[in-house]
Amino acid sequence: MRILVTGGAGFIASHIAERFVHDGHQVTVLDNLSHGKIRHIPPRVHFLQAELASPEVEDLFKTLKPEIVCHHAAQIDVVTSMKQPLADAGTNILGTLALLLHCRNYGVQKFIYASSAAVYGTPMYLPIDEKHPVKPLSCYGISKHTPEHYIEAFSNLYGLDYTILRYANVYGPRQDPTGEGGVISIFLNKIERGEAPVIYGDGQQTRDFIYVKDIVSANAAALTRGSRQILNVSCNQATSVLELLQLLAVLTGKTIVPAYKPALPGDILHSVLNNRAAISALNWSPEYSVPEGLKDTLTSQSG
Ligand SMILES: NC(=O)c1ccc[n+]([C@@H]2O[C@H](COP(=O)([O-])OP(=O)(O)OC[C@H]3O[C@@H](n4cnc5c(N)ncnc54)[C@H](O)[C@@H]3O)[C@@H](O)[C@H]2O)c1
């Protein structure tokens, strides 16, 4: 298939592009390199460095005629989204809408959209399923959720097929540890430098961590399954920040003494996503437990 992967120089979508190439697809990556790295783009991929909402992207649709758009390009930093909500909405909402218009105009069959657990806001019950109310707490949560409405409307109005994947906390090789990167990449970076990882609060807060290779397999499955569905992609497993540090201590063989700081205001204490719908709709299931995913991350990073 001809597949356009947006954000393919970034953490998650570079792994997805790699898999699509491996599976024999004709892959084009679109990325403005604002956060991505050219070295992450796999070989045998056509690459366009451009803004989502730029005229070059329309030319790309005209000439390459993608059958599938796998959309991962986004402004991903929650703090930035609060400081610069207009820029955040410009990329995440208007950028996605620009792509959807090209999908409509140039006959794209399916749109796979990387959404986020951030759309749910404070959990009312756990594990959070897809029927859980959507009440995002941050501008990022709003800007990741709003395109879901456009996607569903474009599907109803113009017949564009879609799968919306709401990811839990993704980790793995190539994740950027700077800024507001994922806690695992931040911890790994600190441990490597011999610095103390920082725990905000008592470390009992839990998250549902999913290894990037399981996100890749969900996207590969979504090429042909999960039609017109919104699906959580997660391990359905809670791991506390303290448990995470214990696992990292065992896997790295290092003694880790964390630094404690006050809990961050508004931080969600526990978050776990129910993944049953994805298991059934995508005929998929996560293959990596957190210890297995961490081990694989450490092996890949040292390799
Ligand atoms: N990492 C996670 O835990 C997580 C969780 C839930 C959802 N997601 C979603 O998954 C997707 C990928 O996240 P990631 O962690 O790989 O982030 P990332 O920052 O590594 O990748 C995003 C890519 O998009 C590119 N980009 C940003 N703005 C652009 C624009 N205007 N035009 C073109 N390219 C642009 C960046 O350069 C970057 O390479 C995002 O949509 C994110 O919201 C990530």
Q: Are strands 206-207 and 239-240 parallel, antiparallel or unpaired?
A: antiparallel
- The CATH superfamily label for domain 171-206+238-271+291-302 reads UDP-galactose 4-epimerase, domain 1 (3.90.25.10)
Residue 302 pLDDT exceeds 90: no
Quote the pLDDT of residue 267: 82
Residue 140 CA, closest ligand 1 atom number: 43
Give residue 262 CA to ligand 1 midpoint distance, Å.
29
153 in Cβ contact with 142 (< 8 Å): no
Which regions of the chain carry the CATH code 3.90.25.10?
A: 171-206+238-271+291-302
Which regions of the chain carry the CATH code 3.40.50.720?
A: 2-168+212-234+274-286
* Average pLDDT score over residue span 14-38: 98
Angstrom distances, CA of residue 149 to CA of 114, 121, 260: 14, 17, 40
Of 106, 120, 125, 140, catalytic: 140
**Distance between CA 283 and CA 301 in Å, rounded?**
30
Give the model confidence (pLDDT) of 114-159 as tens digits.
999 999 999 999 999 999 999 999 999 999 999 999 999 999 999 9
Give the model confidence (pLDDT) of 197-209 as tens digits.
999 999 999 999 9
Ligand 1 pocket check: which of 72, 138, 145, 268 to mutate, most ligand atoms within 8 Å of Cβ?
A: 72
Residue 285 pLDDT exceeds 90: yes
Residue whose Cα lies nearest atom 11 of ligand 1: it is 72
What residues line ligand 1, using a CB cutoff of 6 Å? 7, 9-13, 31-36, 51-52, 72-76, 91, 95, 114, 116, 144, 167, 169-170, 176, 182
Give residue 127 CA to ligand 1 midpoint distance, Å.
25
198 in Cβ contact with 254 (< 8 Å): no
Quote the pLDDT of residue 178: 80
CATH class, domain 2-168+212-234+274-286, is alpha beta
Q: Is 140 a catalytic residue?
A: yes
Range scoring the smallest mean pLDDT among 83-92, 140-149, 170-179, 240-249: 170-179
Quote the pLDDT of residue 303: 56
Residue whose Cα lies nearest atom 43 of ligand 1: it is 76
Range scoring the smallest mean pLDDT among 22-36, 39-53, 131-145, 167-181: 167-181
Residue 51 CA, closest ligand 1 atom number: 32
Residue 181 pLDDT exceeds 90: no
